[in-house]
């Protein structure tokens, strides 16, 4: 299989900064719970494990209010949750596309994740 898409219901939780003192803070506990939810959504959708490099696309649907979090921290939680499920290690991720979309109700909050086998367009000459 070269492409697989699945959906994680609910609001995406950005990865927090973890410090020694903060490992049991409410933000970290919410992060751990959401990471678990992402992993279960992938397993329930029967996401195959990809060998070799992959490209990942994330469409993040959020209700806009206050501080919504940085998109790079939202990517991190999805990538971390898929370790050992969609790939052996997130070092296999060679390309990432992520986009926020704003929705009108909390029931529409979700993340759609597409994993594809990475095929580079051309080698880029540097120098």
- Number of structural domains (the chain) is 1
Check: CB of residue 13 under 8 Å from CB of residue 111: no
pLDDT tens for 83-95 read 999 999 989 999 9
**C-alpha 62: how far from its chain's center?**
14
The enclosing domain of 90 has a CATH number of 3.30.1330.70
In a domain, 125, yes or no: no
Alpha-carbon distance of 89 to 61, in angstroms, equals 26
Helix or strand (DSSP H, E) at 27: helix 26-44
pTM, full prediction: 0.86
User: What pLDDT, in 10s, does the model give residues 7-43?
Assistant: 999 999 888 766 555 566 777 888 889 999 999 999 9
Structural domain for 112, as ranges:
3-117
Q: Please tell me what DSSP assigns to residue 121.
A: S
Tell me: the pLDDT tens digits for 55-94?
Answer: 999 999 999 876 778 899 999 999 999 999 999 998 999 9
**For residues 35 and 73, is the Cβ–Cβ distance under 8 A?**
no
CB 54 within 8 A of CB 87: yes
- Spatial separation of the C-alpha atoms in residues 70 and 72, rounded to whole Å: 5
> Does residue 64 lie in a domain region?
yes
Residue 123 in domain: no
Residue bearing tokens 């609001």: 11
- Has residue 126 been placed in a domain? no
């Amino acid at each position: 299989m070269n492409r697989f898409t699945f959906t994680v219901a609910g609001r995406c939780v950005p990865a927090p900064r973890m410090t020694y003192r903060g490992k049991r803070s409410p933000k970290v506990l919410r992060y751990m719970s959401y990471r678990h939810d992402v992993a279960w959504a992938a397993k329930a959708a029967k996401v195959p494990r990809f060998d070799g490099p992959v490209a990942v696309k994330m469409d993040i649907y959020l209700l806009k209010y206050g501080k919504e979090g940085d998109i790079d921290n939202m990517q991190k939680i999805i990538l971390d949750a898929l370790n050992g499920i969609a790939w052996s290690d997130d070092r296999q991720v060679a390309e990432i596309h992520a986009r926020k979309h704003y929705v009108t109700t909390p029931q529409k909050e979700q993340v759609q994740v597409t994993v594809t086998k990475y095929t580079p367009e051309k080698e880029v000459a540097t120098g």
